[in-house]
Every structure is written in structure tokens, then in C-alpha cells.
Structure 1
Amino acid sequence: MTKKIKEIQGFIDNKTIYNLDVGLNNYFINNFYNKIIEDINNNKYDRKYFSQLQNNLNRINVELKDYKHESAIIVGEVQSGKTNNIIGAVCQAMDLNYDLIILLGGTNNNLLEQFKARMYNTFENRKSYFKLETSHSEIEFSNHMKNNERVIILSLKEDDNLEKIYREIEFSEDLLKNKKILLIDDECDYATVGKYKKSPNINNESNHKYFKRNYILKWTKIYELINNILIKSSGKYLGITATPYANIIAKHNNFLWPRKILKLESSENYTGIDFFKKNSYCYKIIEKKDIQSAVKYFLVVSSILKYIKYKFNNFQMLINCDSKNSGQESIKSSVTNLINHLNKIMNIKIFKTIIDEVIEDGAFLKTLVINCNIQELYDIAKKNLADMFENIDIWNQNYENKIKESNLQIIIGSTLISRGYTFPNLLVEVITLSRQQKQPIDTLLQRARWFGYRKDNNFYKFMKIFMTQQVYKNYEEAYFVNYNLYNNILSEYVIENSINIIEKIKDYAKTYKTIKLTDKE
């Protein structure tokens, strides 16, 4: 079968993009699988991962083949590899001749850039028409629709981009008749679902809201735009999240409420809340303002890893804090002063004392330290202190946010470091933020950036998560709710009628004292 390839110059921000107007049976998914096999051969994934990924994508494929104007969500645990399943789903949709695929790749530029890199890696030289959208781009795909060319849009999930997509769909309404359209919504429980807001005048509220005491549930602007896009285009909706509580318990007479739930299989190498509960030595209880012990741990253990020539040397430490910029600046100032003080006072004797503090409850680290030359380890630690001092970063909308490839990095932030983004060599995370009232499980679990695939070279044995006693109690209770969701309530990989599980989830969560399902319940 011949392929007509058309190169389009300067269409989006002067980027070069491509178009493929002929469908080839399994062309895209086979190329995607070849990429995964390359990663397996490079020891990025184990071989069992491939069969589990295929199982997941086979179930997604069944859903995509059944083209109906309806919604479903894909549920997989935090940091368990949902991105590969999303990209695989896009490949399957291309093979199934979907005409327009809109992929909402997160709610911030960090997530979008991570998604963009993965998508480009997958579609590189695959001759797909790949259209990247940013907040500065115009969205114009009607000309391609006229030529029966298929379009993939990768977009940030925010009002301006969704407005542009909706306007273009309105403009192309006649062209979209009898077309297959898919909207994939990553992190679909965040920003898409409504929020409770106080309303002194509840009599004039629209039909899109309902009451809860003196609060009302107001659908977000993003929800309304996604809903309008799907209604106008008669498209299919596929949401993806690790924490589907807000989606499941939302009013089930709205279009985005999931009629069907697909549960992803996780690899045996996945290290999530179950794994870390069994390996509780990874946690350390601290007082709310005690960042010093975490910084010392980061210094010592990163030095040990460099001493033993571990495969990576760019390790991250996260400090998860309030979203207020003033609070983040204050934490950065405290960390900077602490590292500066350590640099001034540290000699081998003090360094040994710090080592003893760090390894007092870690047999694995003690064994490693015994075999280290302390002078050499100290020299590394002095260099690491200078590295840490230069790389204390706040991640929010006011700063450039990126992982540094060859440095130790201390990252301070809130939402931008709490959802979706993967920190590949996360060594330390600090979480002291808690509420007096019940903590929502979805927020708690999304903050757990230490979940993921941390068994490679026993990396989890080097990790340490610092949290207050209250936060630890929150995670203990969240474990039971999460376990019940994935193992009992979602007992099958495909739930055909999700309305049956709403009350089960609500009833189960009522038994806990420090947590609730979501702020949107």
C-alpha cells in the first residue's frame, strides 16, 4: 500500500510536521511495540511488562473499536506507567482510522513537555501527522479534514486551548460529520470535575450545580469546554487517572461521568503504596519544620551513591509545601542557609557524626558505609554540598521548571511537583503539609512521587520519605481505601456499569477518621 507523505512547514511555531493519509493495518501499534521492545532490551522494563502492557492495550482496543458517543475512564495506580498506555491507545486509534485525536496532556507545562518528549520519541519517523498545540498556537485543522487527513492534537488542559479547539470544531462541524473523534483526558480527575464553592445566593444558580449544605458544586470551565467539544463533535471520551474518586462519585447524569471503567495491570516491579507499606523503613517521622534531617540524608546518601559509582548521579529531593509563593521562598531561604552553614562548619569529624545520624536506622546503608573510604566519601560530600547550594529550585508558574541532567537538585513546590510528573531519580521527599480536617485521598496519593519503578538496582533501599506523624496516619488509611478500590471494588479489569460501585466506595471511606475520598464529594 502506498503512503502519501506531505511535509508542512511553519504551521505551528515554525515546527515541521507530517501527515499520513492512508491507514495501514496495525502500523502504528507495531511501531510502538517495537519501541517498547527496544526499551526492554536496554533494561528499562522487564519482559513481563510487555505482556501486561499488551493485555491493557487489548482491552483499550476493544473499547476503541466500539465507537460510540460515550465516556469511559482508564484507571492505573500512581506512577505505574499510564503514559505508555496512553501513547499505545493513540497508536491503536490511528490504526482504527480515527480522524481526530485530541490528547489533553496534563494541566501544566512540565507534564506537557514530558508527554511531548514521549510522543515525539514514539512517532519519530513514523510519518504520522502530529500536530502540537501550545497556548501561543492557533488551532486550524479544517483544511486537513477537507483532504481526509487525520490529525493528532497534543494540548495543555486549560481554558484558552480548549476554547480554540471548540471554535475550530464549530467551524468544521460539517466536515466532522461521520468522522471518528477521540478525546483523551490525562489526569481526568483534576480540573475536569467540578469544585464545591460557597454561594450566598443559591437561587440564581444554573442547572449545572447542585447543593451541599451552603455550598454548591459548580462545573469547571474546563469541564464545560470538554463537554461542549464532545457534544458538538459527537466524539468519544477516554479519561485516564490513578485517583478516580471525583469522577466516579460526581453526578452521573453528566456526559463525562464514566459509564465504563478499565483497570490497568501493574508490573511486578511497580512500587506503590502497597510496596512501601511493607517496606516502612523508607519512611521517617519528623516534626513539621524539620527539613534539616532530610537535607543531611540527601547529602550523605547521594555521596554514597556517587562513591559506589551508581548508574545515575543526578538525584532529586522534593519538598512538598503550600502553594503560596511566599512560603516557598521562605523554605528556599531556610534550605540555602542550612546548606551554607554545613559547608562552613563541616570537617571529617562532623561528617562522621552526620553519617551516624543518617544511617542509625538503616542496616543496608551501614553495610555500604563500612566499605567506604571516609576521606574519599567526605571529598565527594563537600562537592555535593556546593552542587546542592547551586541547585535549590522552586517549581511554580514564575520559574523555569526542569530536571537537571548532571546535578543534585532540591525542588520546592506544590501542585507542579504533586501530580503526573515523574522524577526519575527521586532520593528524598518531604511532606509535612496536612489539614486539621480530613485529607482527600486523591491529593495524598498524587503527592506520592516516590511511587513508581524503584526496584532497579535496589534504588528503593536508598530512598527516604520524611513526613509528620499526622501525614503518616493519612497514608496508612489511604492504603486501605486504595487497596479496596483496586482489589475489591474494581475486581475485574473491565467494569461495564460503574454506577454499581459508587455507594461501595462511599461506604468504605466513611469508616476512616483522617481521610476522605476527594474535595469534590
Structure 2
Amino acid sequence: MAFDINKFKNLENKTDQYERQIARIKGDGKDISCIEKAVNEAERNLNDGINSFIIYGDPQSGKTEMMIALTAKLLDKGNKIIVVLINDNVGLLEQNLRRFSKSGLDTDPKNYKEILDDVYQIKDYKWVIFCKKNASDLSKLIKKIGKFEKIIIDDEADYASPNGKINKDEVTKINQLVGELLGGVGKTGRYIGVTSTPARLDLNNTFENANNKWVYFPSHKFYTGQDDFFPANLNNGNLKYQLEFLPEQYDLPQYIREALFRFMINVAHLNLFENSEEKYYSMIIHTSGKTSDQFRDHDDVVSAIDILKDENRFEKYVKRIHEIASSKYGDNKADNITEYILQNKNRNAILVINHKKDKENLEKASDPKSLFTIAIGGNIISRGVTFDNLLSMYFTRTVKTKLQQDTYIQRARMFGSRGQYLKYFELTIPEQLYKDWHRCFVFHRLALDSVKSGNPPVWPEDRRTRVAARASIDKTTVQMDSGEMSYEIFDLTKEIENVFSSGIVPLEKMKRLRSELGDNKLPLHLINFISYFSPDGPNSLAIHQPRTIEGYKDADKNNISRKKRLIGDGDLEKIKYPHAIHHIKVFFNTDKKARIFYKFVGISGTKFLKNFKK
């Protein structure tokens, strides 16, 4: 048979990479429905000419696997260059690059440094290129591929990429360089930001992202996150994990030591009485961003374990371990647990991670190789790092002024796939810090619930919390007032109208409405929030009668929306509802299509930020 070279051409034009990635993920026992939803919506955006948008999801909810699948889909669609931007952290770059490479993508992902040599010709080949958000790295990459069309996937997009000098007619360096790499949105580049905290990207107008076309990446079915660690109602006593509050004077070595003992006890209990085979677990200690404080914490942990090694000094500590084990798991297990800890006390790794080059310690902490792995750090461990088998978190890092919501949401490293051992997970934290952290998540969820309706987000903040750094908020388009939120459109049927006119108490009325409409039209989270923040009981909530939108000349009657708020002062009916801080009102059009609008006027200092860009 004659040799035919044509048989061997165009073999690279594969269009099944996405299907193979989905099959791989499914084969690993992971949920694929959330990934398919996000990738399909992202593809729809690109097909519709939306060249800059955000994909958002919960912290540690599997965004890396989603980005791998998205990259496969983009390659299948004929895109030649995919650039994945990573925070300026060598360990994080290598962790993500390794995961992409192991996935079996074709083409194999490259560290940008690999392609800088002239021997590598970009041409019309397919490339997946990783680069840190570092000025030197980005500048070199721009020289190599700047003129070529590309899609940028910006991981942790709200970090470094926004312009922190937006109100000074200046541009921060990373924002400038990422913009140069794009070559102009829709010209030579398209931009997909990926993050758990998109507020800054919206309020900063980063790369002109379309805030009404954001893509929600839902959490997989094995995920444990806000609903588990920060439930809306804290008063029902049904926490699914172990929460330990520290006293006001918590800055003493004994409290870290006690938390360390409880961690070791939980590890021992799991391996002795729950696991079919021994597993290694980790603990995070995050008290400060200062290196000196982190090394102090390191010394406190080392000192405690050293004493456990010395039988001439260990009686006090061993007795305390036995007491805690007995109170947690009963006298019949305390001896075994204590013996297990003493027999395995040398199987520990105490790792300080306080520099972006601590890649070896970062790897050991994120994938524990020692029975008792303790990771001590600050900013480096607060973003983008996934901690497998994390069993304990000691968190005392607070601020003197307001908590910045995006920063503290990212610091929730305990989120993730903790389901198998969630009831043994322990969070140790000062009570006031927990309450402030809880409020950050409540406000964050309220804002993102409004995005899911297809409307631009509204971001709440109050005296204790702030949405994002003020320097990053574009004052030319962002307004700050006591704004409102809305949810998905529904049919205003006679049955729904009857619920509004019924005489049942307001909160029960909301629950009945939700049972009729579903969560997208009236989220359970909103009901829980109202229930939680109701200082005057049922009088804290006012449910007003539905009103037509037809009288508003500047309203979008089909979309049932308005650039200015729809709920005016007159709609609040202050004489009828003098104590109401939560207001629910339905607006409808001539086709009896309707939306629920929510307005919160409760806590002094509460503000709502909204981007009114065209």
C-alpha cells in the first residue's frame, strides 16, 4: 500500500477534549453537573459576543476542575491560545500547573518561561500558558504573545487585576499589563475572570466586565461551605461542626496549645474509631500577617510537642489531653486516644508559610504527608490554596477598623469537601470575630442572590464590614445608598395575589410565597436573613401589596427593572409599618409578569453599593 501523508494531517484538530475531561472528572467520583452548567453558560456568553465576564462560585468549591474543563471546551472550539493567570506565588503556580498537566489536556500546559526561548514559535499552534500576576513575568509574556489572539482565564481575578488607582486617573501596574496582554477587550483578547469574591471586579469596572452576564458556578454536592459554617440562624444550636469561642484575652500560648491538643485528639479518634485506614490531617493557625507573629506561633507549637516527648515534663499536658478526650468521646475511649497521640507524636510537620516562595511547605500543607500537619501563615494561605484533609482552623486575625468582605470570605479555608468528617472539624475563633465574619457572608450571599436573577449586583455593607477597598471603587459609576435587591421574574397568578392579601403573619407569608415560587424567585437565604435580623419580631418585616410598574416612565417594563430604585419612600408606608426594617414589594407589568423586590433599612450605617455603568 502506498504511503499517503494526508492520512496524518489535521490529527491535532480534536473536538472531544471537553467530553474526555468530563468523563475523567466523573470517573473520579466527582459531581459534573456544576461544571457543565458553568462551562455551557460561559460558552454561550462568548458565542453572544460577551468578551469580558466573571465566573463566580464559593471558596474552595472546585473551581480548578471547572477551569480545566473550560480550557478543554475553548480548545475544542478552535481557540489557539489560552492564558491562565495565577497569583504571584510560585507554589500556587506549580500546584495549578501540575493539576492541569495531570488532567491530560492536549496541548500540555506550559509555564510561560518555557516558551520564551526563540526556538518556540507561536504560529497557529495551540497553547495553554500559565503566568503569575507579576510585572516582570507579564512583561516578558506580552513580548512573546502580545500580538496574537487569546483568551485569558484570570484565577482569583479580584486580586491584583483591578485598577487600585481608578479614581486618580492612574493605572496600577498589574492592571496595565493584563490589559496590554489582552490587547483590548474584544480586539485581540477575551477575558474570563474566576473568583469567589467578585465585588471588587464589579465596582472597579475591571476590563469592562459585563456584570449582567456573570456566570454562577454552583457548588458540588459534596461541598461544605457557608450554609454549614455560617448558617443564617445561629440560635438553633444545630451546628454541623465543632465551634470553639476564645475569650477576649486570647493572645496567650495556652489557647493555641489547647487547640493543638483538640486537633490531635480528633485525628486520633478518626483513625482509631472511624477510618478504615489511617489518614493524615492538617491544622491551620492564622493569627497575623506578620512573620514575627507566625514564628512565635510556630515556637509555641514546637514547645508543646517537645514537652509531650519528655516523660519527665509531660504529665500536665498528658493529663489535659486525657481530660479533653474523655469529655469529647467518653472515658472508654480516652486511654486509647491518649496512647495513640503519644505513640505518634513524632509524626508531625510544623510548617511556616509566610513567603510566596515557600512552595515546598505549601505543598506539604495542602496535601498532608505527616499524620499531624500544622500550617502556620497569613496572606499566602488565604487565597487560592486548597487544603486537603483540613481538620482544624485556629483563626484570630482581626482588624482595628472594618472587616473587608472580600478578604475575609477568601480566608474561609475551612470550606471545601469536608463532608465525610465535618462533625469532627473544629474552628477556634474569638466570638466577635466570628459574628463579623458571619455578617460578611450574609451580605455576600444577599448580593450574589440578586445577580442570579440576571440583574447587576447590589452590595451591602455596614459599620463593621466593608465590601471592598475604597481605592478600587470607581466613583464615576458606583453609587452608594440604601438600595434594593430583586429576584427572578414569575407569573403573578391569582393564587400568589391571595397569599399577599392573606392575614397570616409576615414571615409565614414569605415562606408560603417561597413554596409557591421556588428559591430563584424568593431565596431561602433572604428569609433566613430576615428571621435572623428582626429586633422587633414580626413587626420588623413589612410585606406590601403588589404594584404595577406601568406608571414609571423610565422603567424597563419587560424586564421589570429600573436604573433608579423602584421602592421609594412612599412605598415603605412608614405610618402603617413604623418598626419595619425589611420591606418586600412586588412590581408587575401588563402581562402579569412580576418580580419581588427587597429593601433593607435596618442597621444604622448600612449602605448598598451599585454600579450604574451603561
How high is the TM-score relative to the length of structure 1?
0.78
Secondary structure in 1 aligned to 2:345? Answer: helix
* Structural mapping, 1:132-281, within 5 Å: 132-133=110-111, 137=114, 139=116, 144-146=121-123, 148-170=124-146, 173=147, 176=148, 179=149, 181-195=150-164, 209-210=166-167, 216=168, 219-231=171-183, 234-251=188-205, 254-255=207-208, 260-278=213-231, 279=239, 281=241
How far, CA to CA, are the matches of 2:273 and 2:388 in structure 1? 19
Name the counterpart of 2:430. 468
Distance in 2, matches of 1:472 and 1:426, equals 19
CA distance in 1, matches of 2:170, 2:221: 40
Higher alpha-carbon deviation: 465-474 or 341-350: 341-350
**Structure 2 SS opposite 1:391:** strand
Distance 2:332 2:8 in 1: 61
Q: Which residue of 2 aligns with 1:486?
A: 448
Q: Which deviations, in whole Å up to 9, do the C-alpha atoms of 1:222-245 show, x marking residues without a partner? A: 111010111266210000000111
Structure 1 residue 277 displacement after superposition? 2.6
Q: Give distance in 1, aligned partners of 2:317 and 2:217.
A: 49
Q: Which amino acid aligns with 2:467?
A: L
3-state SS of paired residue (2:191): strand
Q: Which residue of 2 aligns with 1:314?
A: 280
CA distance in 1, matches of 2:119, 2:201: 32
Q: Structure 1: how far apart are the matches of 2:43 and 2:145? A: 25
Question: Whole-Å Cα distance in 1 between the matches of residues 278 and 26 of structure 2?
Answer: 22
State how far apart, in whole Å, the 2-side matches of 1:258 and 1:165 are: 28
Look up the match of 1:39.
28
Query: Is the contact made by 2:288 and 2:396 (CA closer than 8 Å) also made in structure 1?
Result: no
2:257 equivalent in structure 1: 292
Shift of 1:194: 3.1
The residue identity in structure 2 corresponding to 1:33 is: I
Equivalent residues of 1:71, 1:256 under 8 A apart: yes
Match of 1:411 in 2: 375
CA distance in 1, matches of 2:353, 2:322: 28
The secondary structure found in structure 2 opposite 1:33 is helix
Aligned mates of 2:287, 2:163 — CA distance in 1: 24
Tell me the SS of whatever aligns to 1:285.
Answer: strand
2:453 is the counterpart of 1:514: no
Cα distance in 1, alignment partners of residues 193 and 265 from structure 2 = 42
433, 438, 452: which one aligns with 2:397 = 433
Distance apart, 1:92 and its partner CA: 0.5
Contact map agreement 1:110 1:416 (CA 8 A) in 2: no
Distance 1:455-1:491 versus aligned 2 partners, 3 A rule? same
Aligned residue number for residue 58 of structure 1: 40
Aligned length: 445
Moved more, 466-475 or 280-289: 280-289
Alignment CA distance shift 1:453-1:217 (3 Å): farther
The higher-RCO structure (CA 8 Å, 6+ apart) is: 1
Equivalence for 2:70 = 89
When residues 392 and 237 of structure 1 are mapped into structure 2, their CA distance, relative to the original with a 3 A threshold, is closer
| Partner residue in 1 for 2:58 | 77
Matched to 2:350, the amino acid is N
Aligned to 2:545: none
- Distance, in Å, in 1 between the alignment partners of 2:53 and 2:90 is 25
Q: Please say if residues 183 and 235 of structure 1, whose CA atoms lie closer than 8 Å, have aligned partners that are also in contact.
A: yes
Deviates more, 1:273-282 or 1:320-329: 273-282
Greater Cα radius of gyration, structure 1 or 2? 2
With normalisation by structure 2, the TM-score equals 0.67
Given that 1:271 and 1:455 are in contact with CA atoms closer than 8 Å, whether structure 2 keeps it comes out as yes
Q: Say if 1:99 and 1:392 are closer, same or farther in 2 by CA, change over 3 A.
A: closer
Separation (CA, whole Å) in 2 of partners of 1:353 and 1:268: 38
Distance 1:313 1:167, change over 3 A: same
Q: State the 1:316 CA deviation.
A: 0.6
RMSD of aligned Cα (Å): 2.7
Deviations 1:265-321 (A, max 9, x none): 222332111212342653211143221221111121111122236255221111113
Call closer, same or farther: CA 1:130–1:144 in 2, change over 3 Å.
farther
Taking the aligned partners of 1:359 and 1:220, their CA distance within structure 2 comes to 56
| Structure 1 gap ranges (5+) | 5-19, 196-207, 211-215
Distance 1:194 1:418 in 2: 21
Distance 1:262-1:276 versus aligned 2 partners, 3 A rule: same
Amino acid at match of 1:301: N
Amino acid at match of 1:266: S
* Contact 2:54-2:209 within 8 A present in 1 as well: no
CA–CA separation in structure 2 for the residues paired with 1:393 and 1:309: 30
For residue 357 of structure 1, what is the amino acid of its counterpart?
Answer: I
Gap runs ≥5 in structure 2: 1-5, 232-238, 474-614
Q: Is the 8 A contact 2:152 2:191 kept in 1?
A: yes
Paired residues of 1:80 and 1:270 also in contact (CA < 8 A): yes
The alpha-carbon deviation at position 109 of structure 1 amounts to: 2.2
- How many Å separate the matches in 1 of 2:321 and 2:59? 33
